[in-house]
Structures are given as C-alpha cells and as structure tokens.
Amino acid sequence: MGTDASAALKALHSLLQQLARAEAGLSEGPRRIALSEKQIAQTEQQIDQQKQAIRDARKSADEQNLRLKSKEADILKLQGQLNTATSNKEYDIIKGQISAAVTSRGEIEEQGLMALESVDTANSTLKTLEADLQSRRKSLQAAKSEFETRKPVLEAEIQQLKQQITVAEEIIPGNDRANWLRLKGAHGAGCIAAVEDEFCTACDQKAIAQDLVRIRTGAIVFCRGCGRVLYI
C-alpha cells in the first residue's frame, strides 16, 4: 500500500511538473512577442532621434559653409583694400586683418569638415538601426507565427493534463484536501517533494522515523519543515 501511494504521488508530481512546463510555454509566447514589440518601438524611437541628428548635422554643415563663403568674401574685400592702402601703417593693419581672417577661415573649414563627418557617421548609424529594425520585425512575425502554431497544441496538452491531475488527486483523502489545494495554489508543481536518504528534497529537513513509517504505510504526510506532501 505504501509503495502504491508513493508511486501515485510520484506520478501526480510528474503530471504537475508537465503542467507547469506547458503553462510556462503558453505564457512564454506572449512575453516574447511583447518584448519584441517593445524593442521595435525603442528602435523606431532611436531611428527618429537619429534622423533628427542628421538634420542637425546637415544644418551645422550648411551654416559652416555660409560662414566660409562670408569669410572668403571678407578676405577678398581686405585684399582689395590692401591694394589701395595710402600708408605703411594702413597696409600693415589690413595685412594683419587678412592674416586673422585666413586663420578664421581655416577654423571654419575644419568645423565644416567635422560637421560633414558627423553627417556621414549619423547616416551610417541610421542604416544600421534601419537594418536592425527590419530584422526585429521579421523576428516578431516569426514569434507570432510560432506561437499561433503552438498555442492550440499547448492548450490541448494543458487541458488533458488538468484532467489527468484531477484523477490522480484522488490519492489525497478528503480531510487533507483543503491543505493540499492551499499547497498547490502556493507552490504549483513544488507542492510535492520526494524523500531521499530520509531528507525532504525541497527543504533538506530530515523526516522523523514516525513520518517515514506513515509514508511507507500509504498515509499522506506533510513535511514538518516546508509543508510539502512527501513520497518515497
């Protein structure tokens, strides 16, 4: 009788574990889909930000180009004034202004090149993000298709397992049923634990000799450490 009871509890434990795996598989699909959708939304936001960064970089490059043209016009004007200088002092002043303008032009050119490089870098990043977005969208579609295929199979498996569990739970006597339902609600498949070398495998509490005897005679015994139903 004790061996039969432990075998029945072991079988019930196995059914509960199978149910837990099937339910986890059923909930995993929507979680994966939700995660993919969140990642897509984040990538789309990054793309929008990157496009704005490109617009800003192009605007900066255009501004530097306008400054460069203005500075070159200033240099040409000063060079013209240089030819009409009426004194050495005026000549030297204009030459100093030209020198300063040429230096400024070099700085503007450097800033313009940096702005153009920023545009190129931003465009490269945008292409990477767009490729990433396309890949994520394909992954999302694949996840949806896979889940739609697996969902009815898992639902049928869950329904079958619940029916089998209902039958297998007949091993639990009526006076222990309330405690059993509470345990199952709190711990799921972990509401049952095997005893190995006289220790509960759920909490490592050693079973007392009296409880071991009761288990072997077919009684429903709850672990004194964690409350799980024990079987050998």
- List, for residues 192-214, the tens digit of each pLDDT value: 999 999 999 999 999 999 999 99
Is 76 within a domain?
yes
Both structure tokens of 134: 């396309």
The confidence score (pLDDT) of residue 83 equals: 81
Question: pTM value?
Answer: 0.67
Query: Which residue is associated with the tokens 């990054």?
Result: 46
| Number of domains composing the chain | 1
Please state the rounded mean pLDDT for residues 140-153: 94
Q: CATH number of the domain that 88 lies in?
A: 1.10.287.1490
Is 21 within a domain?
no
The confidence score (pLDDT) of residue 1 equals: 47
Asked if 226 contacts 203 with a C-beta cutoff of 8 angstroms, the reply is yes
Lowest mean pLDDT among 52-61, 79-88, 120-129, 192-201: 79-88
The whole domain housing 128 covers: 28-151
Both structure tokens of 73: 């016009």
Is 220 within a domain?
no
In the structure, what pLDDT confidence band is assigned to residue 3 with cuts at 50, 70 and 90? low
One-letter amino acid for residue 214 of the chain:
R
- Half-sphere exposure (Cβ direction) of 6: Cα atoms closer than 13 Å: 16
Asked if 147 contacts 30 with a C-beta cutoff of 8 angstroms, the reply is yes
